[in-house]
Structure 1
Amino acid sequence: MTVVDQTPSEPTDARGRVAELHSLREQARRGPSDRATETQHAKGKLTARERIALLLDEGSFKEVEQLRRHRATGFGLEAKKPYTDGVITGWGTVEGRTVFVYAHDFRIFGGALGEAHATKIHKIMDMAIAAGAPLVSLNDGAGARIQEGVSALAGYGGIFQRNTKASGVIPQISVMLGPCAGGAAYSPALTDFVFMVRDTSQMFITGPDVVRAVTGEEITQNGLGGADVHASVSGVAAFAYDDEQSCLEDVRFLLSLLPSNNRETAPREETGDPTDRRTEALINLVPANPNQSYDIRKVVEEIADDGEYFEIQPGWAQNVVVALARFDGHVTGIVANQPSSMAGVLDIHASEKAARFVQFCDAFSIPLVTLVDVPGFLPGVDQEHNGIIRHGAKLLYAYCNATVPRIQLILRKAYGGAYIVMDSRSIGADVSLAWPSNEIAVMGAEGAANVIFRREIAAAEDPDLERAQKIKEYQTELMHPYYAAERGLVDDVIDPADTRSALIGALAMLRSKYADMPSRKHGNPPV
């Protein structure tokens, strides 16, 4: 790629200086060449400025350091000093609220990061933190600029340090719109949400060539680190899209659901959905038979304002659903077991997915509603050897550490440690509700009867009949719908048709909740 050195001429008067300024700005806006733009479009990719225009409100973008150029010499760089140095930085608005953004310009040095490039990103990140506004990165870069050596690597270190400093302070969103390899991939991993576009975006630490050389495995770039891989296998990406337009549209929608920073609450939106609307459909939607599956998303649709919700990581760890929705216009986080996937059992990935979402909601003062229908943790050698104890503890830690309003609703079964982990009253839920179909116990009735009454069953003339009787006895004594309520572990057993109004009432009561935590530098969660 040829980048022309645009050295300004010497102006003769004030009017000439102004004219020159406008000329330089226009050069910076156009980019290196029309041919470079055509090449970008031919790959199915928009330019950095086109992407910013889609993300921000029309005409709201204010650019920072548009005329910045690198100072590196050697390896031909002194003859290639384009304005912007391959990254567009600035701020604008999304639905009227300030958002900071930086976008790699792949047309310039392949979007590779050098010292000046990194310094621009550092500045806009510092501005976002100081202003208390979300930061969106539009990533399309070839990694560190090799010609600048360690200076480029240090630039990435500065980005990582600021990602960490901003964590839990302002929302950070990474939008992957091109390649992201090596150490560069760690910045998106440190942010709150990662969006990817199929076919054009990839993320990996070592590319296919290195993998082939080291392991002998043959794989393509998309097969190694494409959007669908990270959205459904690794869990690195929260969302995958077919095109940049729909991707950026959803980035805007997500921003509309989030507070600007950790000192504010998410914006309330009047939906017009009555707070006392009855949810009669829930009575038939959730089968009475605890072994029969159903889609928990249908429950969320019934209880949320206008049936709308925004699911996070829908393709990964599908046995748990995490989403943002509104109740009486207020944004609320939802964590729910998914009976239609692995019977809603908790495993390593589901625990990690839910834990990170709980932590995010707590960091940004978003209340939590937990819908429980869980048969327990997934048994198996693979789960145990890969650390289900440690990973399950992540979810436990996240809930115990959360100070936002927390409401638990038990729909059907809630067995063993999984019941405790799913925000039970015993670990700090502010309100615990249950439907009359709830079954809270150490384990299912059949397993419990086989353990407790194994001698009686073995000695009986008809073991099958004896087993059936003991199962019934256990269900009657310890698993009836009001057992937990009688002991204060459930605050109320409610009619499913009253679910929406009960949740909204509890959330309203908890809106002024204050939690006094012990003084400490930080906890030591299981990571």
Structure 2
Amino acid sequence: MTNAEAWEKTLDDLEQRRARVLEMGGSERVAKHHAKGKLDARARIAHLLDEGTFQEFGTLVGGAEAAADALVAGSGLINGTPVMVGAEDFTTLAGTIAPGSNSKRYRLAEMAVRNKVPLIMLLEGAGFRPTGAHYGRTPTDLLAQAQCSGKVPMVTGVLGPSAGHGALIAPVSDFAIMSRQGSIFTAGPPVVKMSTGEDISKEDLGGPGVALPSGVVHNVAETDEDVLDEIRRYLSYFPPSAWSYPPVYLPDESTGPRATPELLNIISRENRNTYDMRKVLDVVFDGTDWFEVQPEFGTAIICALAHLGGHPVAVVANQPQVIAGSIDTDAADKAAHFISVADAFHLPIVFLADNPGMLPGGESEREGVLRAGAKMFVAQTTATTLKLHVTLRKAYGFGSMVMSLIGYDSQAGVFAYPGATMGAMSAAALSSASNARDDVAAELAEMELQASYLSAEHMGFDELIRPDETRNALLLSLQRGLYARQQSPEPVLRTAIMP
């Protein structure tokens, strides 16, 4: 008997075990899953990664009873960049977590940090499996996942019901996106019914209508395929880790200098008139295919990933169409998280300010607007990445400071349009608050109109610019500021206590 013949029986046994794992929960359960318009766990990974690049580990964990222990895990490439990816297999014991799959989840996160590559988790599972086994001091996946934060990009896709322990990776992640069939909650409807008596569906408990307004999940897409495509798109703006700088597109006709006269028609000169800030982004940045994060949460601020001169940038912009651009609690919370993520991975941040300040009022105060505003302020003032600022029309009080309109804050460029108004409050508000006579009110309004020139005379801005000069002013400042990258990047050391 040759050596090859001696190996044959052993290798046949291995292949049979592998084939059983590829069947996941069995043909019947997989077909039922597909009938709901969903991809199975392995198909999700295949769609997410570059074709043929998936390398699985932990295939035989779970033995014959639980294929891959309900978690398909491994590495692959996205646009040529290595990533670690784990997908819960709902067809196998409802995607539940046991000691074996918990160890696989820990290993995924551990390898992501070790290899300095992004970590992606695709969720559809019912939390810990009631096995009766004692977990003891088994390493928990959340420990390793938390240690990834700020070091490698962390992205979560919620592609079905996700409950309990497994769901916690979503709020820990930098970016979480769900499908219309996704739902996420601390405990599923049966546990809620038993614990509280509340009879509620998984959609009403944690579907998109709940998870998006609560801020637990950032974005939503229609299908599994759409979610996976959006994950690929999101990661295209980021470096593989905090030890690298973001990727740069080669120059073409879309990345060079150009005037932006369109802004003269988009932006109303009258502060009381609104306009859509999204149209400003379409004009200023390299193209209109920029990526908005949390478009349905904190809508008074737009947080977006875009390109300027081929360089990925993070954009924080007031939206005058929503409460006149006033910054409320949700908007400030959203922006604070977005700024921290951008800073962690060295994306330059462009602030486009047009707001009358933090949102006042009893309801706003009860929601903790000052705490949220302080959180955003700390995030942007402690950011070590390159920062650029433009005041388009107005920026009052603390609302200007959270948008990086504050002196000696290490900005690479600070600009404003002529006639842009700023100060503690608007002339109209000051006139009303002080019961000013008509002649005094008119004088205050005139002083407000001259504020940009007075500020420019005292170096309040680097320069007052015309709206049609906006892109070029930002582009040239960005290109100059990037020369500061004269040493290898490292993870950001955070020392401030977040409000």
Q: Same fold (TM over 0.5)?
A: yes
2:107 counterpart of 1:123: yes
Distance 2:271 2:199 in 1: 45
Using a 3 Å threshold, how does the CA distance of structure 1 residues 479 and 163 change in structure 2: closer, same or farther?
Answer: farther
Distance 1:146 1:216, change over 3 A: closer
CA deviation profile, 1:68-99 (whole Å, cap 9, x unmatched): 236xxxxxxxxx63341111111010111111
Match of 1:244 in 2: 224
Preserved contact between residue 55 and residue 76 of structure 2 (Cα < 8 Å): yes
Distance (Å, rounded) in 2 between the aligned partners of 1:305 and 1:205: 41
Q: Which residue of structure 1 aligns with residue 74 of structure 2?
A: 90
Name the residue aligned to 2:211.
Answer: 230
TM-score (norm 2): 0.93
> Quick check: 1:435 aligned with 2:417?
yes
Alignment partners' CA distance in 1, 2:324 and 2:486 = 35
The answer to whether the aligner puts 1:494 opposite 2:465 as a matched pair is: yes
Deviations 1:126-161 (A, max 9, x none): 11111100010011111101114542x966x72111
* Whole-angstrom distance in 1 between the partners of 2:61 and 2:402: 51
How many residues are paired up? 489
Whole-Å separation in 1 of the counterparts to 2:47 and 2:223: 12
Whether 1:470 and 2:420 are equivalent positions in the alignment is: no
- Partner-residue secondary structure (3-state), 1:336: strand
3-state SS of paired residue (2:484) = coil
Residues 425, 490 of structure 1: 8 Å contact kept: no
Q: Is the alpha carbon distance of 1:265 and 1:353 closer, same or farther for their aligned partners in structure 2, counting shifts above 3 Å?
A: same
Pair 1:356–1:107, CA change in 2 (3 A): same
Question: Which residue does the alignment assign to 1:4?
Answer: none
Partner residue in 1 for 2:31: 38
CA contact (8 A) 2:123 2:166 kept: no
The match for 2:343 among 329, 341, 362 is: 362
Rg larger for? 1
Cα distance in structure 2, aligned partners of 1:487 and 1:524? 31
Which residue, out of 365, 368, 385, partners 1:384? 365
Per-residue displacement from partner, 1:453-499 (whole Å, max 9, x unpaired)? Answer: x4xx4xxxxxxxx41x3233123335423122112121100111111
Q: Distance in 2 between matches of 1:525 and 1:185?
A: 26
Which residue of 1 is the match for residue 237 of structure 2? 257
Q: Is the 8 A contact 1:159 1:187 kept in 2?
A: no
Partner of 1:348: 329
Percentage identity across paired residues of the two chains:
31
Task: Tell me whether 1:267 sits opposite 2:247 in the alignment.
Answer: yes
Q: Is the 8 A contact 1:411 1:437 kept in 2?
A: no
Q: Out of 298, 307, 314, which is 2:288 matched to?
A: 307
Secondary structure in 1 matching 2:112: helix
**Secondary structure at 1:267 match in 2:** coil
- Give the alignment of 1:50-449 within 5 angstroms: 50-69=43-62, 81-151=65-135, 158-198=140-180, 200-209=181-190, 211=192, 218-231=199-212, 233-270=213-250, 271-426=252-407, 427-449=409-431
Give the distance between the partners of 2:166 and 2:25, measured in 1 at CA: 24
Letter in 1 for 2:495: G
* Kept after mapping to 2: 8 A contact 1:440/1:484: no
1:42 positional shift: 2.2
What SS does the aligned partner of 1:249 have? helix
Alpha-carbon deviation of 1:387? 1.8
Please give the per-residue CA displacement for 1:382-406, whole angstroms capped at 9, x wherever unaligned: 2212322211100000011001110
* Runs of at least 5 residues in structure 1 that lack an aligned partner in the other structure: 1-10, 71-79, 458-465
